[in-house]
A = this chain, B = another copy of it.
Amino acid sequence: MANDDTRPLTLRDVSEASGVSEMTVSRVLRNRGDVSDATRERVLSAAKALGYVPNKIAGALASQRVNLVAVIIPSLRNMVFPEVMSGISSVLEETDLQPVVGVTDYLPEKEERVLYEMLSWRPSGVIIAGLEHTDASRAMLKASGIPVVEIMDVDGTPIDAMVGISHRRAGRKMAQAIMKAGYERIGFLGTKMPLDHRARKRFEGFTEALAKGGIEIADQEFYSGGSALAKGREMTETMLEREPDLDFLYFSNDMIAAGALLALLEKGVEIPEQIGLAGFNGVELLDGLPRKLATMDACRTEIGVKAAEIIAERVNNPDAETPKVIELTPKISYGDTLRR
């Protein structure tokens, strides 16, 4: 090992150790072009013996190609996003692209900073949650010249392409199912997140459809922080104390709905006869609950898959005609907490 132990190894070291030109070493390491088996062997064994790890920074600069896809999401703590990530990874693993995650904490300014950081690495594409961004963020995305897919939501206009569900429509659909089942005194319980545009749109769609059916939300309650399960309990108790004659509770996510379910069952409330419940997301957790919760699947994995497919296609063939809008259709699942 000629390496002096402070300087990282370079192609040149492998070249010298194997007696082959840097260029040929480079070709072997990238499986490019024609290289004789003998040379290939010598190079590979030299590289391995030295413990050479290529320098992608130099490679990227020289080739003007970076195999990274920036994925920008609000949070990792909400199980929704890891599931979207799975969808993305499952597609990118078939290519030589790699996802790199940035987290915004639902803050537009942080999104802007994270985006700037990521774009400065010149990724091959961007997948970003939501359609609402600062002007500066939109400008950067437009100017980047790379494929951009906005995900989760299709209620708006994409910068480039979008894949998701209509949260407005989802809210309306649930409202219609609830009204059809004959519930009339409906409470809404959700997160206190003015910046969670998708939750807001669901709420808007929900109230709009109720209004069309001549019903107004009877009560609402919001929380922030803490264990969602515990908050679901608390909020439900608070609300039912205030409005004891509610016959349906609609939650902005399944976790708080699950807390409510546990609380109501303990109290001996008849579900779904006396009070019906519905959440949103279709989290797998729900399978273990005493009753199957009514919810609506947000197509999380599929969103990731479709978004990654668009990026992969466009990276392969920059002139490819990829879809600009993919609207997926969330399925309502009645479970045991919403009368049919």
Interface residues of A (CB under 8 A from B): 5-6, 8, 51, 53-58, 60-61, 66, 76-77, 79, 82-83, 85-86, 89, 98, 100-101, 103, 116-117, 119-122, 139-140, 143-145, 226-233, 255, 258-259, 262, 266, 284-290
- Nearest CB in chain B: distance from A59 CB, A: 8
Residue of B nearest to A102 (CB): B98
A241 to B118, CA, bound (A): 54
* Residue contact A227 to B98, C-beta cutoff 8 Å: no
* Residue contact A289 to B55, C-beta cutoff 8 Å: no
- Nearest CB in chain B: distance from A238 CB, A: 14
Residue of B nearest to A7 (CB): B145
Set B116, B229, B287: member contacting A285, Cβ < 8 A: B229
- Nearest CB in chain B: distance from A246 CB, A: 20
Chain B positions within 8 Å of A76 at CB level: 76, 82, 85
Chain B positions within 8 Å of A58 at CB level: 61
* Residue contact B101 to A101, C-beta cutoff 8 Å: yes
19 contacts between A and B (CB under 8 A): A8-B144, A51-B140, A53-B120, A53-B143, A54-B120, A57-B61, A76-B82, A76-B85, A82-B82, A89-B103, A100-B100, A101-B101, A227-B285, A227-B287, A229-B285, A230-B287, A230-B288, A231-B288, A262-B290
A122 to B54, CA, bound (A): 9
- Nearest CB in chain B: distance from A3 CB, A: 8
Q: A227-B287, A286-B227 are in contact. Are A145 and B98 (CB under 8 A)?
A: no
A76 to B77, CA, bound (A): 9
Copies of this chain, tallied across the complex? 2
Set B116, B233, B288: member contacting A227, Cβ < 8 A: B288
Main secondary structure of the interface of A (DSSP, over half): helix
A66 to B140, CA, bound (A): 22
Chain B positions within 8 Å of A85 at CB level: 76
Q: Given A8-B122, A53-B120, A100-B101, list of 17 further CB < 8 A pairs?
A: A8-B144, A51-B140, A53-B119, A53-B143, A55-B120, A55-B122, A58-B61, A76-B85, A98-B117, A100-B100, A101-B101, A227-B285, A227-B287, A228-B288, A255-B285, A262-B288, A266-B290
- Nearest CB in chain B: distance from A136 CB, A: 9
Chain B positions within 8 Å of A232 at CB level: 288
User: Which 5 pairs between the two chains have the least Cβ-Cβ distance?
Assistant: A229-B288, A230-B288, A227-B287, A230-B287, A76-B82
* Residue contact B60 to A226, C-beta cutoff 8 Å: no
Residue of B nearest to A76 (CB): B82
